[in-house]
A and B are shown apart, each in its own frame.
Chain A
Amino acid sequence: MEGLENYIEVSERCVRCGICKSVCPTYDVVRRENSGPRGRLSIIEARFKGEEGFKEAYLKSVRECTLCGACFGSCPNGVNIPELILAARNEIVDREGMSFGESLVFRNFLNTEKFMPLMLRFASKLQGLIFKGTSVESGLLSRFSVPFVGGGRLVPELSDIFFLDRPHIKELSSGKGRKKGTGRVGFYVGCGINYFLPDIGEATLKALGESGADVIIPQGQVCCGMPIFSAGDRGTAKKLAQKNLEAFEETDLDYIVTSCATCGHGLRNVFKELLSGESPELKARVEKFSSKVRDITELLTRDLPYKAAPKGSNRNTVVTYHDPCHLRRYQGITEEPRKLILDSGFTYRGLKHPCRCCGLGGGLGFSNYELSMDIAMKKAEDVKNTGADVVATACPGCIIQLKDALHKLGVTAKVSHVVELL
């Protein structure tokens, strides 16, 4: 792998103080050095320096990280451990290819804009065979264990008509044709909203409409590539980034908005990392693109003339908020979603650990569902202790995970995207 020495330089700044272990969601649950940031860094460094003898435990340690970024935030020496882990995953994929499961899900499903919708459309008709409906507002409980979906796992129901396929969405593919500088907003939908949680997409549209924006939803958009990037396949992620770049370049937009924290991190930060090195021309294009990206909570509170209106009955509803890692740590957005909740007149009650990872990130939900759920259960307990009626967040991934965990704990709190509360 190229540039390994850069990563060794990063890891050598680590003085092995161990402070990162105190914030790591996987170490918290597993309590083994290899399940924490310092251990991961140490074995990656040893491998990159050419030591041999690493086997399954190495793969497990490197794969079972949520990439939440808490370790980086805690490090006195600024060692970017998630970056090292991504490099290690990349090295594994380059050397051995992806595991069959990862490859099936990430490469085939999420890769092409045609294959995935086709497969999922098929799946949306079949889901009743594998899953049974639950009392939870939207969700299916797997009847038996299927690949990537353990028995008893609560998975979101596939939407009957995907968001991007809806006629009123298709109509927005070129917007109302307003000029740049008058609130022309491109909406990047993302897989979570498109396939599973289209209501968030509708709520986003509604809020944007109220703010007077001219919304454009390009049909050429594809998966942001974050799942496959996290799994270590930079090549495929690069192709997806380029497709998205093209889809949003055609129209002269003021902003590109997303209601998914993970997509937002991808569009804003990872695209630049992936494409900047290709050519100066591409670098300029991706920088222009990334500078326009906003999270929906950020766009509504900072950029557009929008004011959340308090509804009378909201005062009686207690809302808490979970910080998605990709929003808080990778985009620095913390106050904006809370402001929207408060402005809407809800009674806000904070979590004890609002920024502790939900456990789904970094592919952990796929690589080790049980561990992912152990982490999520701590979050569910935290939600339970607030006594909140609604736990709001700003990431479809977190929403899916929180619903599963709260269902397991028997907590009836509703899980919503902040934009759905407006």
Chain B
Amino acid sequence: MLSEGVKRELVKIAGKGFVSFEKEDIVSYSYDATNRMHPPDAVVFPAGSEEISRILKVANLEGFPVTPRGAGTGFSGGSLPVKGGVVISSERMKNIREIDTENFTAEVEPGVITGDFQAEAERLGLFYPPDPTSLKFSTIGGNIAECSGGPRAIKYGVTRDYVLGLTVVVPTGEIITTGVKKTMKGVVGYDLTRLIVGSEGTLGFVTGAYLKLLPLPPAIRTMLAEFASLEDAARASSEIIREKIIPSTLELIDSVCLRCVEQYAKMGISSAVSAVLLIEVDGKGEILGKDCEDIREISMRNGAMRFKVAENKNEAKDIWKVRRAISPSLSRIKPTKLNEDVVVPRSKIVELIKGIKGIAEKRGVIIASFGHAGDGNIHVNVMVDRKNAGEFRRGEDAVKDIFELTLSLGGTISGEHGVGISKSPYLNMELSVQTIEAMMRIKRAFDPNGIMNPGKIFRMEHV
């Protein structure tokens, strides 16, 4: 609970109309895409760094927690105010300050919707590659906090690869800048940019970002390869990479997903098909034809039943429809989706897929897998019903099995969603006590009073 004095102070800082203690805002700023609810005591909508700085100073003085929030669309609970306190929303900081068409850089505020920024860059012939599936509604600030990635990561990398520098209000209230603004290089001092990107809002509030852009690839070709077995598809995907072709998208879809899609969306995929690969290559038009031919050959060699290259934009759209129909169809198998985003080395995809099949049988749950085969990042969805306690527990056990399998294959338990509260119970499966302690020392250096997004990533029982 906030004292009357703190409430008055917040209104003084942000201005009337930009601080809310009303029930309506308490409810609607209590959740994110994890679908859990943790009501804050207040929501503040600051205009920028100065106001946030003053709020954080009060928070240190009075000892209330502060949770940064972008669009509230994360899958690990990064924006949930699990200890109450104040939610700081970036919704008012929504300007693209500059797109520099000479240096291929941009300066944006954290509340800019990623998709809007991409569209604006594309209008100028430039390209901001990170493409989390939520790009149409998630914010750059949130993407930076979680270091989001997407299908294009295989060729273009993830958010961290495009952040040149940041303006950050650190938990003690100082406004700092990290990295560079418009240069492609810079090694002056510690690389705090990389530390902040992916820190899940525990080390500060990002109020500005300098981003790197690329020239927009002039052409894209979209392909769909159908396989009779998941292993064949996974093998083909590994071989494409081994042959040194780097597609801009290489997505794998398993039979659970395909049957769902077929049942609910009627995409015309034969029941003999057990897996498909959705592949895209981009670049100069003349080279792409050769890439398509090579990928076709590799697919056929690995037992593809059918291979299709989209002739035009509409056909490409139809191919993507299959991929986009997965999420809507899945939710109809079971109401609760334990949505994990494990990553293994690309050469281990086949083993991961086989192992998951075994786990599903052992635990007696349905597991649907799809995702970014190209970079080893598979979305593993354990489908259960939260209201069925036994099934839910078996689902959670399956999740733990999947993490163990992933780590045994040299992988990591989260590729793009972050730890937050969803994965914090499992942090010590991947990280040693020494590593966790080193991270916590950094946290304490930035946030001695522990006011910034408390309750995330770390658990006391792990150290």
Residues of chain A at the chain B interface (Cβ within 8 Å):
13-19, 21-22, 31-34, 38-39, 42-43, 46, 51-55, 57-58, 61, 76-78
Contact = CB atoms under 8 A, between A and B. Distances in A.
Contact of B71 (A15, A18, A78): A18
Contacts of B247: none
B24 A57 contact: yes
18 contacts: A14-B35, A18-B71, A18-B72, A18-B138, A21-B137, A22-B137, A31-B111, A34-B24, A34-B28, A39-B24, A51-B23, A55-B23, A57-B20, A57-B22, A57-B23, A57-B25, A61-B24, A76-B327
Given A33-B25, A33-B28, A77-B331, A15 B137 contact: no
Nearest to B34: A16
Contacts, number: 84
Which of B27, B45, B113, B327 is most buried by chain A, counting CB atoms within 10 A of its CB? Answer: B27
Which of B34, B35, B137, B337 is most buried by chain A, counting CB atoms within 10 A of its CB? Answer: B137
Given A15-B331, A31-B91, A21 B71 contact: yes
B127 interface: no
B134 to A, nearest CB: 7
B32 interface: yes
B272 to A, nearest CB: 27
Contacts of A38: 28
Interface of B: 20, 22-25, 27-35, 45, 71-73, 89, 91-92, 94, 111, 113, 115, 134, 136-138, 327-328, 331, 335, 337
A51 B32 CA distance: 20
Contacts of B31: 16, 42
Which of A21, A33, A39, A53 is most buried by chain B, counting CB atoms within 10 A of its CB? Answer: A33
B33 A15 contact: yes
A46 B27 contact: yes
A15 B91 CA distance: 21
A43 B337 CA distance: 23
Contacts of A54: 23-24
B27 A55 contact: no
B24 A58 contact: yes
A78 B330 CA distance: 12
Given A76-B327, A77-B328, A53 B137 contact: no
Contacts of B111: 31
Contact of A43 (B28, B94, B136): B28
B32 A16 contact: yes
B33 A16 contact: yes
A33 B94 contact: no
Given A43-B23, A43-B27, 20 more contacts: A16-B33, A17-B33, A19-B136, A21-B71, A31-B92, A33-B72, A33-B89, A34-B24, A34-B28, A39-B24, A39-B28, A42-B31, A43-B28, A52-B23, A55-B23, A57-B23, A57-B24, A57-B25, A61-B24, A78-B328
Contacts of A32: 25, 45, 91
B331 A19 contact: no
Nearest to A19: B137
B210 to A, nearest CB: 23
A76 B264 CA distance: 12
A77 B325 CA distance: 11
A22 B114 CA distance: 11
A31 B43 CA distance: 14
A77 B335 CA distance: 10
Which of A18, A43, A52 is most buried by chain B, counting CB atoms within 10 A of its CB? Answer: A18
B89 to A, nearest CB: 8
B120 to A, nearest CB: 13
Contacts of B20: 57
A46 B27 CA distance: 8
A38 B137 CA distance: 12
A42 B33 contact: no
Nearest to B136: A22
Nearest to B74: A18
B27 A42 contact: yes
B73 A18 contact: yes
A61 B22 CA distance: 12
Contacts of A16: 31-35, 72
Contacts of B45: 32
Contact of B23 (A17, A18, A39, A53): A53
Contacts of A22: 113, 115, 136-137
Which of B23, B33, B35 is most buried by chain A, counting CB atoms within 10 A of its CB? Answer: B23
Contacts of B91: 31-33
A33 B45 CA distance: 11
Contacts of B73: 17-18
A101 B137 CA distance: 35
Nearest to A78: B328
A22 B71 CA distance: 10
A183 B32 CA distance: 55
A31 B35 contact: no
- Top 6 A-B pairs ranked by shortest CB distance? A76-B328, A39-B28, A57-B24, A53-B23, A22-B137, A18-B73
